[in-house]
Amino acid sequence: MSDAGTESVLVVIPTYNERENLGSVVRRLRAVLPEVHILVVDDGSPDGTGEFADELAEADPRVHVMHRTAKAGLGAAYIAGFRWALAHDYGAIVEMDADGSHAPEDLPRILRALTGADLVIGSRYVPGGSVVNWPRRRQLLSKGGNLYSRLALGVKIKDITAGFRAYRSTVLEKLDLGDIASHGYCFQIDLAWRSVLAGFTVVEVPITFTEREIGESKMSGSIVREAVLQVAKWGIRRRAGKLRAGIARDKA
């Protein structure tokens, strides 16, 4: 990232029923990076998360809130946040969960890495990365999903499903955000895969991922199925493209 500093950084935090967690995440962000701006994208949480976010924004001009009327999925919330960030000329846009699983204390390391990259992924599966308090089933699902995606797509990213990451604004300006309809796991894979295909530099830095202590995980069977099917489709297209290129070279 350029020397514009953390005043050009926007942290996008999608929320749905995260009232009990949001305040702590914002306080920790403020403690470690006081100058960054925060955009809470709330999907009409019935627990009052949106109203609580408004209170945070009233107390801090660097906190902003986007209210959406329905729960439309993680991917749609992030796309809305990205569009808002680009419209307001932020130089770097960060994805972060609202449940406390992503430690704000890891964000300075991610932003430092952005000086030499276009997309930086906070990775659980590079040396120094770790997962805390996850049941074995979730760990196997996560590692299996990442291995499956790497093999299908031919990428070297160890944690392509990770949701703690920072983009240069130029990446999101170039990608066709209107063409992205994936959610959950699949959304993270989709954006990283598109970034690789577009020729952007992607690096991973270690983070500590801690399972939420309050509230329920948004992970579901439908999210996993979407990822499996979409990654298979992208993998088939990738191989078909290589085959066509090989045939063209042979004919030449």
Find the CATH number of the domain harbouring 88.
3.90.550.10
* 14 within domain boundaries: yes
pLDDT of 211 over the 60 cut: yes
pTM over 0.75: yes
- Give dist(CA 99, CA 190) in Å, integer: 22
Binned at pLDDT 50, 70 and 90, residue 237 comes out as: confident
Name the phi and psi angles at 217, rounded to 5: -65, 145
Binned at pLDDT 50, 70 and 90, residue 182 comes out as: confident
Q: How many domains does the chain divide into?
A: 1
Structural domain for 100, as ranges: 6-251
Q: Give the pLDDT confidence of 13-33 residue by residue, as tens digits.
A: 999 999 999 999 999 999 999
pLDDT of 138 over the 50 cut: yes
pLDDT at 73: 85
* 187 within domain boundaries: yes
Q: Give the pLDDT confidence of 32-68 residue by residue, as tens digits.
A: 999 999 999 999 999 999 999 999 999 999 999 999 9
pLDDT at 230: 81
- Give dist(CA 228, CA 202) in Å, integer: 22
* 1 within domain boundaries: no
- How buried is 133 (Cβ within 10 angstroms: 0-12 exposed, 13-18 middle, 19+ buried)? exposed
246 or 143, higher pLDDT = 143
